[in-house]
Structure 1
Amino acid sequence: MIMLRRNSASDETLPRDLIGPQRMPVDTHMTDCVKSANMSNSNSTRYYNKRKNDIKIATWNVQGLNEPGKLENVVNEIKHLEADICGISETWLCGSSEFNTELPNGEKFRIIYSGGEIRRKGVAFVLNQRVSNLVKSVHIKSERMMAIKINTSPVDTFLIQVYAPTRDSDDEEKNKFYEDLRDIIKYKSFQEVLVVMGDFNAKV
């Protein structure tokens, strides 16, 4: 989980969620909230103000969004994790575009995605309503890579979401991936914060 500081252009807040291997950060965060509730009123106010200006970033390989109900489940999990921005891999969505989705309770999320011609691979960013208007630019590279620039303080942040080839992929595909990564980084200005995240298909 990555924490960034956003520009306080809006006071709107929206709760956020994630399961599986990401369950531990949820438990840890909830423990911190309980501790905060037991603090003095002044300390609780400082905690709230810090959360209001922070941006929590996560990444997740969702292994497809095509099954009925899968997108809603993923968004619910991102909400539960309280991630403001979640980069996801293996969306299995075709083409490149964006759309909004709304949970039954009225909470809205913005999905920006990049996919190929077939329903494999694919990357995306899911942003909650609290930060969706902080996106300054979108950069689509391939079904394995995309980036967004977000308005943060004291400098902007350039987020790259990737889905890397596996170790068994041919050298040409691996080389293209790293060439694309070098190319997309060129859209980042010198002073901006760079975050590269996603599924690197690494084996330890």
Structure 2
Amino acid sequence: MIEQLEYEMSKYRWNILGLCEVRRKHFGETLTSDGLKLYHSGREDKHENGVGFIVHKDTADAVLGCRPISNRIIIVCLKTAPFNTTIIQAYAPTTDHEDEEVEDSNNEVQKTLNEMSKKDIIVVQSDWNAKIGEDAQEDWEGTCGQYCNQATHDRGLRLLEFAKYNDLKIMNTSTLE
């Protein structure tokens, strides 16, 4: 799997890639055969869930730090100009998990976001396991774009509320303009 990610990063010239379902235990750092750095945060007891980043070797010197929050949230801070960039990588519970677990996960992402330096550029990226529907474009103008599913479900509504509250835009529903 790492080899495929290395190939894709090279092909598309990506410098950093956020990952979900890493399925590695604990927090760790690994150097790949191509010199890329894998940071991961997972459960302590088993190979389940997990989040991480792969950082290209040309970008590795810009990493100021990587901090695990849980097996569903990890952050990396990069030295960039004119401001540092902090990326929060999260992985929300799937639809077979209880609503309470989803709420706890969303609250943990919000708490992490609240603790970030307001001087940094902050990126929140995640597999929210949410569906945003066509109905949301009109009702949530400025929060999501036009490229949506047919209908918004409950977790999609929670994502819209989170994005609106934090003045964020759901980018996979939009084109870059």
When normalised by structure 2's length, the TM-score is: 0.70
Q: Deviations over 1:70-89 (max 9, x none)?
A: 21122211221110000011
Structure number with the bigger relative contact order (C-alpha 8 A, sep ≥ 6) is 1
Letter in 1 for 2:4: N
Q: Deviations over 1:111-158 (max 9, x none)?
A: 110011211111110001111111112221111111011111110111
> Residue in 2 aligned with 1:113?
40
1:186 aligns with 2:114: yes
Q: Deviations over 1:18-63 (max 9, x none)?
A: xxxxxxxxxxxxxxxxxxxxxxxxxxxxxxxxxxxxxxxxxxxxxx
Alpha-carbon separation, structure 2, partners of 1:166 and 1:99: 27
Contact 1:139–1:184 (CA<8 Å) still a contact in 2?
Answer: no
CA apart distance, 1:172: 2.1
Structure 1 unpaired stretches of 5+? 1-69
Name stretches of at least 5 consecutive residues in structure 2 with no aligned partner. Answer: 132-148, 150-177
Residue of structure 2 in register with 1:132 after alignment: 60
- Whole-angstrom distance in 1 between the partners of 2:70 and 2:11: 29
- State how far apart, in whole Å, the 2-side matches of 1:78 and 1:118 are: 28
Stretches of 4+ moved more than 4 A in 1? Answer: none
Provide the C-alpha distance between the structure 2 equivalents of 1:169 and 1:156, rounded to a whole number of angstroms.
35
Amino acid of the structure 1 residue aligned with 2:15: D
Task: Give 1:95 shift.
Answer: 1.1
Of the two, which has the highest radius of gyration?
A: 1
Q: Is the 8 A contact 1:96 1:113 kept in 2?
A: yes
State whether structure 2 residue 17 is matched by structure 1 residue 89.
no
How much identity, in percent, do the aligned residues show? Answer: 27
TM-score, normalised via structure 1 length = 0.61
Q: Secondary structure at the match of 2:8?
A: helix
1:201 partner SS: coil
Equivalent in the alignment of 1:42: none
- From the two aligned structures, give the one with the greater strand fraction: 1
RMSD: 1.3
